[in-house]
Amino acid sequence: MTRGIALVTGAVRGVGRATAERLARGGYVVVAGVRDLDRAHEEYGDPPGIHLVELDVTVPAHIRAAAEIATDFAGGGAVDVLVNNAGHAMMAPQESGDLGAARAMFETNLWGAAAMVQAVVPAMREAGRGTVVTVSSIGARLSNPLVGFYHASKYALSALSEALSVEVGPFGVRVIMIEPGMI
């Protein structure tokens, strides 16, 4: 029996892959977004309940396509769970770090998550149900040398998630934020 439809970003390895696999074992149909579809097929094989889709959260066409595929699995209705996991880090001192690389990191870590919310949450709100899980970082609560750019992106992601919780909570949509440490 299907428990629902889940869309997971950044699902090729680590937390994203473990989340996709756990949701599938729990009865969800999982649309697992990955940047490199060929690599993901090699690493995953053909897992039951997991449908790999090309998804770079900085590419609007990928976002639309992944949301449409997940919506199709939901019979044209709302996705039940969105897991915003896509992200990456950079290490550099602020005084000499590559600002272009920092901006690119923000595009994925912050703006990519915001774009996924805009693609999926309106249907959740309309349906009166759904869950958004944001995978942030303990780095959203503290800062360390050489990872200030990364921490700033996670502080911002956590702030958006906290605001989203208040915005959509009255409509039956839950927002859960996870802030893991080193993995």
Separation of alpha carbons 165 and 159, rounded Å: 10
Are 149 and 87 within 8 A, CB to CB? Answer: no
Q: Is 44 a catalytic residue?
A: no
Residue 100: φ, ψ to 5°: -65, -45
Separation of alpha carbons 37 and 33, rounded Å: 9
The stretches of 6-147 forming alpha helices (DSSP H) are: 14-25, 37-44, 60-73, 99-106, 113-127
Cα distances from 47 to residues 62, 99, 138, in angstroms, run 22, 39, 31
Are 183 and 14 within 8 A, CB to CB? Answer: yes
Write out the two tokens for 82: 């969105």
167 DSSP assignment: H
Active site members: 150, 154
